[in-house]
Amino acid sequence: MVANVPKRTLNTLMNAISSGVVPRRGLEYIAVGRKKETQTFVNDLEETAEGGGAFRFISGRFGNGKSFMTQMVRNYAMDKGFVVMDADLAINRRITGSKGEGVNTYRELVKNTAYRTRPEGGAIEPILQEWSEKLCEELGGRDAADLEAIRHIVRKKTSGMSSMQYYRDFAAVLSQYVYGYLTDQEDDPSIRWLKGEYDLKSNVRKDLGVSTLIDESDWYEVIKLWTE
């Protein structure tokens, strides 16, 4: 079996296992006795690819392979062309809280966004840049990419999300990001907003002209916008 494992993947596996952590890549080479669970998640992903969705809890005692299974499904999803987000919950990262635990979870999810060619995370900006280039082509080039034209095409491309909460501000910030990227603006505040890095609503209004601050009250709704 070892002879069939790519050398880079083998090194990743051995380094992770020797450190006592679940490897990010190559789990399919060492998975044993997980056929039933794996097929369940494969079916879920196939349904998701057709426009459906699924929600699963993985429970078990310490050492039963929960993290292993999560990472294996994550890797399979990327191999099938999905963009994935993942975050480990901790004292300062929870679903909800009163001291920023929820928005910390949002930040971790965005930071760990990954796809096939960026499996270690940090894929949000490459994804947005690729999308911006496609919009630029549809607009007829960078010379035609003024802010109003960008706003129009972003709203058109995201019209299926228009009934969702916080859509207007999300689309407005996306438009600002595309404009900033295509005009080579430095220190564009839109990416800070998209990553959940703002702490004050007044600064959001000043920098971006929107009223939504990604915080404990709305971060999950913004995640739902990302999934669309």
Domain ranges of the chain: 2-82, 124-227
| 204, 210 contact by CB (below 8 A) | yes
Return the bridge partners of 105, or none. Answer: none
Is it the case that residue 6 has pLDDT exceeding 90? no
Q: What is the CA radius of gyration of the chain?
A: 20
The one-character DSSP state at 82 is -
pLDDT (tens digit, 9 = 90+) per residue, 169-216? 999 999 999 999 999 988 899 999 999 999 999 999 999 999 999 999
CB-count burial class (<10 Å; 0-12, 13-18, 19+) for 41: buried
Cα gap 43→55, rounded to integer Å: 12
Q: What is the DSSP letter of 225?
A: H
- How much is the average pLDDT of 136-158? 92
pLDDT of residue 2: 46
Rounded distance between C-alpha atoms, residue 27 and residue 78, angstroms: 13
Q: Determine the average pLDDT of the residues in 94-118.
A: 93
Burial 14-37 (b: 16+ CB within 10 A, else e): eebeeeeeebbbbbeeeeeeeeeb
Q: What is the pTM of this model?
A: 0.84
Which residue is it, tokens 């079916």?
A: 43
Main-chain dihedrals φ then ψ at residue 20, nearest 5 degrees: 80, 25
Most distant CA pair in the chain, distance: 58
> What are 198's two structure tokens?
């703002």
